[in-house]
Every structure is written in C-alpha cells, then in structure tokens.
Amino acid sequence: MLPEHGRTAQDLLAELSGLKAADLPVRGGKVTAYVYDTGRPEVHETAHRAYAEMLEVNMLDPTAFPSMVAIEKQVVGAVAELLGRPGAPGIFTSGGTESIMLAVKAARDHGPGGGEIVLPVTAHPAFHKAAHYLGLDVVPVPVDPVTFTVSPAAVEAALTARTVLVVASAPSYPQGVIDPVEEVAALASAKGVLCHVDACVGGWLLPWLREAGAAVPPFDLSVPGVTSISCDLHKFGYAPKGASVLLFRDAALRRKAYFASAAWPGYTIINATVQSSRSAGPLGGAWGTLQALGAEGYRELGRTTLEATRRLVKGVAAIPGLRVLGEPESSLVAIAGSDEVDVFVVADEARRLGWFLQPQLSYAGIPANLHITVTGVTLAGVDALLEVIAAAAGAARARGPAVVPDGLPELIAGLDLDALDDATFAELAASVGVDLRGSGSGDAAQPEMAVVNAVLDALPAATREAVLVRFLSVMYS
Ligand SMILES: *Cc1c(COP(=O)(O)O)cnc(C)c1O
C-alpha cells in the first residue's frame, strides 16, 4: 500500500475524488441525514481555511498553544450565551458522543462511584455507550406512544438511591420532539440528582427556530435543575465534523469531567476530553463557521429551516400510506408507513431517485420509519423532496412490502454469531442480497436494503447489535 516513491498532490487528489465517487453527496440537500448544508458554499470554504490554519496545533497542551485556549473560550462562550447561562463553564469536544461521555463521567465522579442513568428510550445510544464504557447501569423509561416524549411521572418512578444522572432530550433524534425538561429537571433536583439535557442536535437550532416563531419550551441551562447540556456545532452549527460543546452549571462539576495523571515518568497529563493529542482543526473550523455566519446568518437559516419543515410535514400528511410521527418541534421529521406502504421499500425507491432517507427500525412499540433532518439548504428543494417521497411511496405500494425470508430471523436469533466464520456470515448476508465482498471497493451496485432492514426489524435488539458488529467486522476484512 505504501508507495516506494512519494506521489504528487495532484495524483493523490485525483485518487481521492475517484474513491469518493460512490459516496453520498455531502452538499445539495439530497442526503437528509448525516450532513448539514447551509446552502452557502462560501461559509463552508471559510471554515475549511480556518480548519486548515489550526490543523497542526495540538490541543494536548494548552500552555504550549495559547491560541487554542482563546478560541475555545470564544466558542464555548457563544454556546453558553445562546443556551441560557452566559459565562457557563464548558469543554469543546469532538462530537455529541464525547460530550455525553464526559457528562456521564462527571456525574459518576460527582457521586460515590457506580450507579444508574435514568433516560427515555428515545435518548441517544451515546448514553448506553458511556454507561458501558464507564461501568454504569442504564434504566430506560418508556415514552408516550402519541407524543413520543417521556412522562415526568415515569421518570420519578425510575429514580432510586443509585441514580447518578437523569437525561432529557431537546429534541430526541428519532422523532424530533422535546422532553418535558422543566419537570424532569425539577424532579431530579428535588432528589439531589444531576440532570443532563441532550441538546446535541437541538442546542444550536432551537433558539433560532424560536426567534423564527416556533413554540419552543424552555430546555437550556436557564431551567432550574439542569446541570449540564450538550450542543453539537457539527450539526446545526454547520461546522465541519469534530465539533461539540458540553456546558456545566458550575466549574466544580466541570472538574469532575477532567482527567489528570502524574503516574508515569513522562510529561504530565491534564485532559479535558477523552482524547489526549488532538488537532485544533475542528475547533478552528467551528470558530470559523460561527464567525462567518454570525447571528444574522443563523437567524436566516432558522427561518428557512422552519418553513421547510412546516411544508414537509404538511406535504407528507397528503401522501397516502404515510404519516408523520408525533408533532415535530424542531426540524427532524419521522415518517411512518402502513400495511400497504413499507418505509424500507420507500427508502430504496428514493435512493434510486438520488435521495437518501434514513431508515429507523421499530423499537419499544414505536413503528419503523424514515428520518429526515431538515437543514438550511432544504427549503430550496422541499418541493422536489416531496415529489420524490410521493413517487417512492407510490412505487413501494406497487412493489408491496419487503418479504422476510421464511424462518430467517429465527435462524439468526438462534445462531452463535461469534462461532461463525466470516465466509459463512458473508453467505448469510448474500441470502438477503447484501454483497459484503464488494463493499468499500467503490463500484458496488446500489444496495437494496429493504429486505435487510426488514430482517433486522424482526430481530430482538441484542441480536440486531450482534449482527451489526459482525457486519462491520466483515466490511473491514
Ligand atoms: C447526533 C446526536 C448525538 C451524538 O452525536 P455524535 O456527534 O454523532 O457523536 C447525541 N444525541 C443526539 C440527540 C444526537 O442527535
């Protein structure tokens, strides 16, 4: 793989662009998850330049690179100001997962060690991951089957002497609705328990939607009892990936997220994050994006995002066989199907038309659905998006639901996946139309995912997880 002789930049970039040809496009709004496009290329260009300028600064040692301390203070300060507590202490992290990991660590170390996290079933898996990594237990609480938000009474019933953290989402990713933050935080506070608001996706969106006229309930650090909040700038801050901010009510709690070690004969370690050596590029990119857009830019993006969301929700309601789950309070929309219109088939049909709609499996009584994240660029293409959804739904009705091969879920659920060799697993995948050997080569045919999703949907969560781990491992072999 390593060439004997160094290659030219032109040669390398040509190869990268060839490899990327099979990727989903990151601009233009036809991919309605993963990517956040302002529709303003000059803003992204500015961010790239600021990113590159800071790329080689190492955030390992803030005394060596004061520039990064100054920039981080500005970025954290901007988020604190927007989220109800100017001057609140915070940490710039690599993403929502790391922000959540550190909020959970702070909660664990705030108490005597060990304990439980109480969270709605709609909370992001990053909390399960944090609990898994940090040796805590998760206590999931069901959500209302109509509003998809958690009920304060159910949260109260789940609190025990072992609870170290209560979680509310603003909004939750799956249906884009906001948990009752005021009530949940008050309950936690009454029991002396910390409360984290996961505003990873909503933190840098909801305040601008509110300014644009949306009814957004209080959800931030101004709410009594909220002790930490996470806000991803690489989502609705439109910053390049690797950018999130975690805010704390006070500096004492932030110190519980830090880690220091003097237990070796090398340089002393003081880390604010999970990572130690890390590039200041993402920090520069986030700062550059915030500065390039300014309040006016975000206000305008909030306005167009809200209008696009309203038009999307209204438009979907008029498509036979589809319905929007709950009442979206942000710009995330979940679309469920019906007996006649299988959402997994809709996703494949939309993909054929050049659009990516993100499948979400059924869970905890919530039906399978397609997730759409409406961003700044969506408004310009919202009519085209609705036409694609309507056409895909029509085609899905004509094709009928994905057919799960007889007995396959039972067969998979009964397998010891660790005992299968890769070749046998690849054969199993081929039986549902997935060519694992072709993946990553860049020339694999457009995958038909409906049957795969239908099979996964028929499996219990633990088996889904085992299959997914196996899938990833084979993809990289
Ligand atoms: C995206 C998201 C996360 C996780 O963030 P990453 O940046 O992907 O690690 C956590 N919570 C919510 C609500 C999210 O939308």
Q: What digits encode the pLDDT tens for the residues 354-393?
A: 999 999 999 999 999 999 999 999 999 999 999 999 999 9
Closest among 345, 347, 399 to 371, alpha carbons compared: 347
Q: How confident is the model at residue 445 (pLDDT cuts 50, 70, 90)?
A: low
The protein residue with its alpha carbon nearest to ligand 1, atom 4, reads: 96
Which residues, including other chains, have CB under 8 Å from residue 349's CB and lie 6 or more apart?
391, 392, 393, 395, 396, 399
Work out the average pLDDT over 431-440.
Answer: 70
Ligand 1 nearest-atom number relative to CA 234: 7
**Residue of 92, 97, 133, 231 to test ligand 1 pocket, by largest number of atoms within 8 Å of CB:** 97
The Cα 460–Cα 414 span in angstroms is: 11
Per-residue model confidence (pLDDT) at position 253: 98
The pLDDT assigned to 65 comes to 97
Contact (Cβ atoms closer than 8 angstroms) between residue 346 and residue 272: no
DSSP-H helix ranges across 135-280: 152-158, 181-190, 206-211, 251-255
- Helix or strand or coil: residue 124? coil
Mean pLDDT of 396-409: 95
The angle formed by the CA atoms of residues 92, 93 and 95, to the nearest 5 degrees, is: 130
CA of 265 to the centre of ligand 1 (A): 37
Nearest CA to ligand 1 atom 3: 96
- Which residue's CA is minimally distant from atom 5 of ligand 1? 96
Residues 6+ apart with CB under 8 A from 252: none
- Ligand 1 centroid–CA 1 distance in Å is 34
What would the pLDDT profile of 124-140 be if each residue is shown by its tens digit? 999 999 999 999 999 99
Pocket test for ligand 1, best of 124, 175, 374 (most atoms within 8 A of CB): 124
Pocket of ligand 1 (CB under 6 A): 95-97, 124, 126, 169, 173, 198, 200-201, 232, 244
Across the range 214-231, mean pLDDT stands at 98
Q: Whose CA is nearest to atom 12 of ligand 1?
A: 200
| Pairing state between β 259-261 and 323-324 | unpaired
Q: How far apart are the C-alpha atoms of 370 and 325, rounded to whole Å?
A: 10
**What φ, ψ does residue 372 adopt, rounded to 5°?**
-125, 125
Of the pLDDT bands very low, low, confident and very high (cuts 50, 70, 90), residue 442 is very low
User: 440 is written with which tokens?
Assistant: 């990553």
How far is the centre of ligand 1, averaged over its atoms, from the C-alpha of 421 (Å)? 33
pLDDT for 477 equals: 83
- Cα-based distances in Å from 452 to 162, 418, 428, 456, 471: 39, 20, 11, 6, 12
Alpha carbon separation from 103 to 64, 130, 251, 257, 273 (Å, rounded): 27, 9, 13, 7, 11
Query: How far is the C-alpha of 248 from the C-alpha of 423, rounded, in Å?
Result: 49
Q: From ligand 1's centre to the CA of 237, what distance in Å?
A: 13
Mean pLDDT of 1-19: 96
d(CA 29, CA 379): 9
For 366, residues 6+ apart whose C-beta sits below 8 A from its C-beta are 122, 143, 145, 148, 174, 175, 325
Pocket test for ligand 1, best of 173, 179, 231 (most atoms within 8 A of CB): 173
Q: Cα separation of 445 and 351, whole Å?
A: 12
Per mean pLDDT, which range of 24-38, 95-109, 260-274, 437-451 is the poorest? 437-451
CA 92 to CA 74: how far, in whole Å? 10
Q: Which two tokens stand for residue 409?
A: 């879920």
Are the CB atoms for 207 and 81 separated by under 8 Å? no
Concatenating the DSSP letter of every residue in 136-174 gives: -EEEEE-B-TTT--B-HHHHHHH--TTEEEEEEESS-TT
Q: Beginning with the edge strand found earlier in the chain, give each strand of the sheet holding 163-169 in spatial order.
A: 90-93, 244-248, 228-232, 194-198, 163-169, 116-120, 137-141
**In the chain, what are the domains?**
46-289 (3.40.640.10), 408-475 (no CATH)
- Residue 60 near residue 276, CB atoms below 8 Å: yes
% the chain with pLDDT above 70: 98
